[in-house]
Amino acid sequence: MRLFPRSLCAAVAAWRECFPLHGRDVARWFPGHMAKGLKKMQSSLKLVDCIIEVHDSRIPLSGRNPLFQETLGLKPHLLVLNKMDLADLTEQQIIHHLEGEGLKNTIFTNCIKDENIKQIIPKITELVGSSYRYHRAENMEYCIMVVGIPNVGKSSLINSLRRQHLKTGKAARVGGEPGITRAVTSRIQVSERPLMFLLDTPGVLAPQIGSVETGLKLALCGTVLDHLVGEETMADYLLYTLNRHRMFKYVQHYGLNGASDDIECVLKTIAVRLRKTRKVKVLTGTGDVNVVQPNYSAAARDFLRTFRSGLLGPMMIDRDILQGCLPADIDP
């Protein structure tokens, strides 16, 4: 991987103003089960009263699949922004931006801790009650389809609703990486009054990611398998973003001498601290010399894992869009 070394002290305000995107290509992760899943969703629409789209609170304006609105837009739509505990929600522009896009029906949640989950079923009941149900008008039960890109917490939302309203265990399989749900599942009950069932669906990315920067944001949030983008590339983008946001908890967490814009230096320090190194023999003019070689990939994976767990602090990755620097999904 090509790294872009640039050592700077935290006291100096001259961090990289933009991330070098030239020569980079974000992999298009649209395997067969995604295409099949989208077709299955369309064919199941006649059984559905409302759509819940789940997305990551850290990127409320980036990476949402436009196909959901284009192909499923006939039904009432509720946007659930999950993982609110990992997002910096002090940005007041969030709601204004969402309302500007016609997304007034938005709820922020943390499905792991069941935060704000109680708002969802009353909101769905309101949306369905104020819409035309066509051939389902006489049906007393509600059927809701849960959609979203990979690894944003769709299955966790279903399990959280079941805990809140049925006091029962999980019914949908969850995992910490994209691609756990591979097909549209059978109906899962989440409420007794009103009688409500949810359809879990596989995560579906847009066939073409709008820009390289959007792809990197999606990758940081774990919606794309890390190896498709490259752990070290993602770690460099994470370091760039942390510094731009003046979030320097990584310095104390890894015992660095100071904040740095040099990803090679940072990963080397992390690797040594975690003992992710190996000794290799290097042939020189005076004979073999043992050299300690850092495992940069292992260090990058730990850096990403630490960020995703919230240990480096909550972040609004879409802050550039919210502050009017860049429109969503367009390369600079």
Residues annotated in a binding site for GTP = 82-85, 151-156, 203
Burial class (CB in 10 A: 0-12, 13-18, 19+), 135: exposed
Going by C-alpha positions, the residue among 58, 332, 44 that lies closest to residue 183 is 44
* Integer Cα distance of 161 and 191 in angstroms: 8
Residue 51: Cβ within 10 Å count: 24
- Expressed in angstroms, the distance from the first to the final Cα of the chain is 22
> Are residues 78 and 105 in contact, defined by beta-carbon separation less than 8 angstroms?
yes
Residue 73: Cβ within 10 Å count: 12
Report phi then psi at 109, rounded to 5: -140, 165
| Host H or E run for residue 303 | helix 296-308
Q: Which segments are annotated as binding site?
A: 82-85, 151-156, 203
Report phi then psi at 117, rounded to 5: -65, -35
DSSP for 217-276, written as a single string: HHHHTTSS-HHHH-HHHHHHHHHHHHHHTT--HHHHHHT-SS--S-HHHHHHHHHHHTT-
Report phi then psi at 155, rounded to 5: -65, -35
